[in-house]
Every structure is written in C-alpha cells, then in structure tokens.
Amino acid sequence: MTRLSVNINKIATIRNARGGNVPDVELAAVKCEEFGAEGITVHPRPDERHIRYADVRQIRPLVKTEFNIEGNPTVQSFVDLVLEVVPDQVTLVPDGHNAITSNAGWDTIANRELLTNLCKTFKAKGIRTSIFVNPDPEMVRGAAACGADRVELYTADYAEQFPAGPEKAIARYVAAAKAAREAGLGLNAGHDLSLENLAYFVHTIPWTDEVSIGHALISDALYMGLEKTIGAYLTEIRKK
C-alpha cells in the first residue's frame, strides 16, 4: 500500500511571510497525522525561506508516523541536522541554493563517490536513505550501486505531460520503477503530484512505497480544508 507523506513546507512559507507563529507548523504536523497522513516531510534549505532548522528539531519528537527530511547533502549543515535529528528517512536532493523548488534528480554515476559516502554515513545511524532521481533506469541502478535503500522519482515531467496523455506521461516512470524493483530498491515519488494525476500513477505503479506531496495538497486545503483534503488524497491513492 502506497503511503502518503505530507510536505508541510508551504505552511511554513505562509508563516514566514508575516513573522510570528501563525500558522503553527508544529501543530500542522500533528493535525496532518490526526487527519490520516502516514508521514510528514520537510525540506529545510540553507536560507530557511520556509521550514527552518529549528522547526525540524521541534517537529521531530511530535511525529508518530514517519519523518522524512529532504535536502541537499552537499551543504554540511544539512548533513549535521539529519545526523542530529535522526529521521526515519532522508531524501538526498541536488537542489541549487537559488532554486525555487527541486528541479532535477541526481546523476548517480557522476556523483557515485559522494552519494556512496553519504549513504554509508546516514545508514550507519539507522536512517533509511533515498536518492532523488529522474525517471531513468540507469540513474536508478546507479543509486542502487551507491547503497541507497530507495529512490524517489522526480515526477514533474509526469505531471506536466499527464493532461495530454497519461500513458505517454508515465511510460518512462514505469521503466524506472521496474529498474528499482529489479535492483531491490524501495520506490518513492514526488513533485507536482495532485488529485488529478495521483491515482493513475499509483495504480500503474502499485509497488510505489510512498508519495510525498506538498504544494498541491496545501493549495487544495485552502478550498477544502486540511482534513478533507488529506482524506481526498488518501482516496485517490487507494482507488482500484
């Protein structure tokens, strides 16, 4: 069964726009779980423009399901934070410092030494390690060679192409997902997944372990409310 991890970065973005502590990201994490979320994801960046390092420390003891921290491990402060907090999962993302959002996966061949060392470091602390990759079987196999436990497929292209034709949009993802399964890797997916395209993805690739969704889910919650929205996403995941 595919699990839903809610990325709460956007809630922190709203808070930071005004200062203070409204909305409260700690309370948001607790409520997401109460409403059915099966994990909480945060993606702290060095400039702390949304989730702050302090938030990560405060949220960690509150999460009762699964805590996933995403980020760029070439930043030493991120590595130090993960090793301090010890989440259930760390997702290694090669986002640039000035990137608005994550926009590409790792080249796991060119960065094999770096990623191998990071996998060893995090796994030594008992942290499941996932590498963010484009839907390319070669990059998936490269992640396995680095010692990753899982890959997370970058689904922006799928979401963009979905309206024009779901079968074509998902074809590369099926190939990459099969490569992950053959390599013994767990499979996550994330970026621009929504109520419109989520069910088709997990129905077509039912061995997807986890989807991490933030922007679309929090945006839908503005209209539908957080509890109803999380329920709607869970319904899409569980459609037959």
Q: d(Cα 188, Cα 32) in Å, to the nearest integer?
A: 19
Tokens 């069964």 appear where?
1
Half-sphere exposure of 70 (CA within 13 A, CB side): 31
- Tokens representing 1 are 């069964």
Active-site annotation holds for 215: no
Return the SS3 of 140.
Answer: helix
**Which residue in 107, 112, 151, 159 sits closest to 132, CA to CA?**
151
Catalytic one among 33, 38, 43, 50?
43
If you compute the radius of gyration of the chain from its CA atoms, what whole number of angstroms results? 17
Catalytic one among 38, 66, 70, 210?
70
Q: d(Cα 142, Cα 49) in Å, to the nearest integer?
A: 32
Backbone conformation region of residue 209, classed left if phi is above 0, alpha if psi is from -120 to 50, else beta? alpha
Active-site annotation holds for 152: no
Active-site annotation holds for 191: yes
∠ CA(46), CA(49), CA(54), 5° rounding? Answer: 65
Catalytic one among 152, 191, 210, 236?
191
Alpha helices in the chain (DSSP H): 9-18, 25-34, 53-59, 76-85, 112-123, 137-145, 156-161, 166-182, 198-204, 215-224, 226-237
User: What are the residue numbers of the active site?
Assistant: 43, 70, 191
